[in-house]
């Protein structure tokens, strides 16, 4: 007899007492009496992985986020059993596992200070709707603790007192309070008592983060499925946390080609060919530098990917070559939706090989996007990624397109309430079959990965350039990104500044916003201020929708055009500085932008600053975020800084008023910095550089600077054909010494440096280059301390009277 009874709602469940422990090299396993298991993996002295199972056994260990190139190994590992806890000790951390309930406490191994401790720790709730568990973790929020990270969230930089969720979502015209939006990056940094740690919750299900919102002394994170699987990363410097996280999830596989760091112009849409040519020729006529022009969905035949509308673009190969001859790289959009059309070759191939996603009961996943009804490739299947990569052969190898822009890959679906696939869609997940609940947040990442490999293959020997809208942790290995469909408002200028800073501290530095706003129309003033900010974002692109006015640099009045030209020229002058910073990012994982808290976490005044940031290591910028401004108050961090415009030196560690009419923005250079400067060109490598300028900012004391250079494209730099120059500046009251050390086999086109020295506190009496005295007549007498030296000098010694 079958009896209907109410299903027992068990609520939260918790680990019980540890009954067994075992060690297997770097994996320490603890087993509780109610079958809960905890694996602690010592990844590095400062990186511990915590992985929980509620049935005593773990599923296959698989992650799209963790790179195979991640560093491993430690200097010390001891485990001691105490009466109440097991204690794990590395050279950086002490981790206690409570015997009663598996709760974790982590301390600094040097001074024994508490860094992090569980509140109720790991717990879970059975998911009766879908099966499996809702997995949860709660930790104590320490006194004065601040929180940062989580990717593209559009709220305040400091996450304290807020709650967020990760579910990649097409969020047209999102606002400051909109959540979730396009990306899912489940990594955050905690900072308290001048020490920082990071937690990466590697779980691709819909996840949630509460930073002491519900309870003021508790921070928690949870997911609607999967494992409680997180990495604890200790600094104590925030920069070290970010570099370790980026090492774990992957640095970009290669430097971008230098042209990708130039100015890009985009619109939905430039068509037909005559319109594209009109835009590009106007850039050259008005002498506004630009390196890339974009083709949005209207270049396709009925929005079918990998096709061309021959009415608009009768001979794409010829057009792309003509644009290239004029210095423009062509970037084309590709979306995931493949039109259901039996006469469409991409659809035929996908159908024949069963490459499209299916619903749980077997039918293909069908959804409406730009072409109408579409099927969607399952990019979590290796053979689908290989197929997708191969589809780029004609576009890249034969027609000559240089970059691809992946959009709508959250994945976005039109005219359905949830804006995406239903939960029951099935995915291969690289041999770990699952529903869309698990695969949703990594769908865009895997599309971008497949696109990257296609470009890498077909643009060889040049480097690929790919952009993605949706991303999960680790996507920075393959692509750049932008912040999605924003709006032409002053609030969105503030949001853009926050988002790109946050992306950098979330391991994803190659990011930018749609300058000027995608939706609606900016004023000339707003557009100007946005360009000024965009100069200091790694990805520098104007983009707008087609249902309002134009948004090219000349679309406003002549004054706006002149100011915008001046700032785009500044970007091109700073390219060697940005390229060097990019090399540090690719080599070490160092973020390209540093929020003030990242620059000086010991100064509590920086913990809630949102506007100011350091570009690279030595340039401080602060955008103007309000209309009609003649200047603004800003916080200048510790040290001394030169005003870029006036060369006046100011002492930091305080807030101050800075003049900044419409033709200026607050820019400061760190004293002691040596900033490499290119001559202005209309596009990257328009002509060979005969002489490179080094702008030198005197400091009493020592400061190091770097200059990285190579062929600006291709892979020879990996084989040692690069040039890395380290400059050591030493300033004293009556002398300035600049020493240079060079490594790498690349020979630069320039033979000389023009040294422009700012802030010299003495009159020059004598100059020695490599211990040889040179005549003072070589010093220019135009009121500036300038001189030309051979690029291979070892030491320049300037002596004052």
Residues noted as catalytic: 407, 410, 485
* Cα 460 from Cα 713, distance rounded (Å): 10
160: tokens are: 């304290």
Pairing of strands 403-406, 329-334: parallel
Contact assessment for residue 637 and residue 613, using Cβ atoms and an 8 Å cutoff: no
* Cα 473 from Cα 248, distance rounded (Å): 10
* Cα 455 from Cα 613, distance rounded (Å): 33
Pairing of strands 593-595, 649-651: unpaired
Residues whose CB falls within 8 Å of the CB of residue 746, separated by 6 or more in sequence, listed in order:
709, 710, 711, 716, 717, 721, 722, 723
DSSP state string for 233-249: EE-SSHHHHHHHHHHHH
Strand partners, 511: 481
CA triplet 774, 775, 778: central angle to 5 degrees?
100
Contact assessment for residue 63 and residue 92, using Cβ atoms and an 8 Å cutoff: no
* Cα 174 from Cα 160, distance rounded (Å): 21
Cα 637 to chain centroid, rounded: 23
Contact assessment for residue 192 and residue 239, using Cβ atoms and an 8 Å cutoff: no
* Cα 179 from Cα 65, distance rounded (Å): 22
447: tokens are: 């599309």
* Cα 692 from Cα 489, distance rounded (Å): 39
Residues whose CB falls within 8 Å of the CB of residue 430, separated by 6 or more in sequence, listed in order:
62, 64, 380, 381, 382
* Cα 156 from Cα 56, distance rounded (Å): 41
Name the region of 86 (left: φ>0; alpha: ψ -120 to 50; beta: rest): beta
Contact assessment for residue 470 and residue 182, using Cβ atoms and an 8 Å cutoff: yes
Cα 456 to chain centroid, rounded: 20
Residues whose CB falls within 8 Å of the CB of residue 699, separated by 6 or more in sequence, listed in order:
640, 671, 672, 729, 731, 759
* Cα 33 from Cα 463, distance rounded (Å): 54
* Cα 700 from Cα 735, distance rounded (Å): 9
* Cα 117 from Cα 720, distance rounded (Å): 46
DSSP element (H, E) containing 762: none
Sheet holding 263-265, edge to edge: 511-512, 480-482, 466-468, 403-406, 329-334, 292-295, 263-265, 540-542, 514-515
Phi and psi at 387, nearest 5°, equal -60, -50
DSSP state string for 186-214: -EEEEEETTEEEEEEE---S-EEEEESSS
650: tokens are: 């100011």
* Cα 287 from Cα 527, distance rounded (Å): 19
244: tokens are: 């370790």
From residue 400, give the alpha-carbon distance in Å to each of 195, 214, 297, 459.
Answer: 50, 54, 18, 8
CA triplet 241, 464, 541: central angle to 5 degrees?
75
């Amino acid at each position: 007899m079958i009896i209907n009874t109410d299903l027992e709602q068990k609520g939260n469940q918790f680990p019980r007492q540890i009954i067994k422990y075992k060690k297997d090299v770097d994996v320490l396993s603890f087993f509780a009496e109610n079958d809960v298991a905890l694996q602690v993996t010592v990844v590095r002295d400062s990186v511990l992985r915590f992985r929980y199972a509620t049935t005593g056994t773990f599923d296959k260990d698989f992650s799209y986020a963790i790179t195979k190139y991640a560093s491993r190994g430690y200097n010390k590992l001891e485990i001691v059993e105490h009466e109440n806890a097991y204690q794990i000790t590395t050279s950086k951390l002490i981790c206690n596992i409570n015997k009663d309930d598996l709760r974790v406490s982590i301390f600094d191994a040097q001074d024994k200070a508490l860094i992090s401790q569980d509140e109720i720790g790991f717990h879970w709730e059975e998911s009766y709707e879908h099966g499996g568990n809702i997995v949860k973790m709660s930790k104590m929020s320490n006194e004065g603790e601040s929180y940062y990270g989580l990717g593209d969230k559009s709220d305040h930089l400091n996450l304290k007192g807020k709650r967020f969720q990760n579910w990649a979502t097409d969020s047209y015209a999102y606002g400051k309070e909109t959540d979730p939006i396009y990306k899912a990056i489940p990594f955050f940094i905690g900072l308290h008592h001048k020490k920082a740690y990071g937690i990466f919750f590697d779980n691709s299900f819909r996840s949630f983060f509460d930073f002491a919102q519900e309870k003021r002394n508790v921070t928690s994170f949870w997911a609607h499925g999967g494992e409680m699987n997180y990495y604890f990363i200790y600094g104590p410097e925030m920069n070290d946390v970010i570099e370790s996280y980026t090492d774990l999830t992957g640095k970009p596989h290669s430097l971008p080609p230098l042209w990708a760091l130039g100015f890009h112009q985009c619109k939905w849409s430039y068509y037909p060919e005559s319109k594209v040519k009109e835009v590009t020729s106007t850039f050259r006529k008005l002498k506004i530098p630009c390196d890339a022009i974009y083709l949005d969905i209207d270049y396709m035949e009925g929005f079918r990917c990998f096709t061309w509308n021959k009415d608009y673009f009768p001979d794409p190969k010829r057009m792309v070559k003509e644009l290239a001859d004029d210095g423009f790289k062509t970037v084309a959009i590709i979306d995931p939706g493949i039109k259901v059309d039996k006469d469409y070759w991409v659809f035929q191939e996908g159908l024949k090989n069963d490459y499209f996603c299916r619903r749980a009961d077997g039918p293909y996943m069908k959804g409406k996007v730009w072409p109408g009804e579409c099927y969607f490739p399952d990019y979590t299947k290796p053979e689908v990624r290989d197929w997708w990569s191969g589809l780029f052969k004609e576009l890249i190898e034969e027609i000559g397109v240089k970059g691809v822009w992946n959009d709508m890959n959250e994945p976005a679906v039109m005219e359905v309430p949830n804006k995406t696939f239903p939960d029951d869609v099935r995915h291969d997940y690289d041999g770990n079959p699952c529903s869309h609940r698990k695969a949703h947040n990594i769908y865009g990442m895997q599309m971008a990965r497949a696109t990257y490999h296609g470009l890498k293959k077909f643009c060889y020997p040049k480097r690929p350039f790919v952009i993605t809208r949706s991303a999960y942790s680790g996507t920075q290995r393959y692509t750049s990104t932008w912040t999605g469909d924003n709006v032409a408002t002053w609030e969105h200028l503030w949001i853009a500044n926050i988002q790109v800073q946050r992306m950098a501290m979330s391991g994803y530095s190659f990011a930018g916003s749609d300058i000027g706003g995608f939706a609606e129309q900016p004023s000339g003033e707003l557009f100007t201020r946005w360009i000024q900010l965009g100069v200091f974002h790694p990805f520098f692109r104007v983009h707008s929708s087609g249902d309002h006015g134009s948004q090219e640099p000349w679309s406003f009045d002549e004054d706006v055009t002149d100011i915008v030209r001046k700032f785009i020229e500044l970007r091109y002058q700073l390219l060697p500085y940005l390229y060097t910073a990019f090399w540090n990012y690719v080599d070490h994982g160092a973020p390209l932008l540093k929020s003030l808290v990242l620059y000086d976490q010991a100064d509590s005044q920086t913990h809630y600053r949102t506007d100011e940031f350091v570009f690279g290591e030595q340039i401080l910028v602060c955008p103007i975020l309000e209309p009609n401004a003649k200047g603004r108050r800003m916080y200048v961090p510790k040290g001394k800084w030169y005003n870029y415009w006036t060369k006046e030196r100011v002492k930091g560690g305080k807030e101050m008023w800075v003049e900044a009419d419409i033709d200026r923005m607050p820019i400061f250079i760190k004293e002691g910095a040596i900033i490499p400067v290119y001559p202005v060109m209309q596009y990257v490598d328009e002509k060979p550089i005969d002489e490179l300028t080094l702008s030198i900012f005197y400091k009493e004391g020592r400061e190091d600077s770097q200059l990285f250079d190579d062929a600006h494209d291709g892979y020879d730099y990996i084989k040692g054909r690069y040039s890395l120059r380290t400059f050591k500046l030493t300033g004293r009251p009556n002398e300035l010494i600049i020493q240079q050390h060079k490594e790498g086999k690349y020979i630069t086109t320039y033979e000389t440096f023009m040294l422009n020295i700012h802030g010299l506190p003495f009159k020059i009496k004598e100059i020695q280059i490599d211990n040889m005295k040179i005549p003072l007549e070589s010093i220019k007498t135009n009121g500036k301390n300038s001189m030309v030296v051979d690029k291979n000098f070892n030491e320049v010694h300037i002596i004052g009277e």
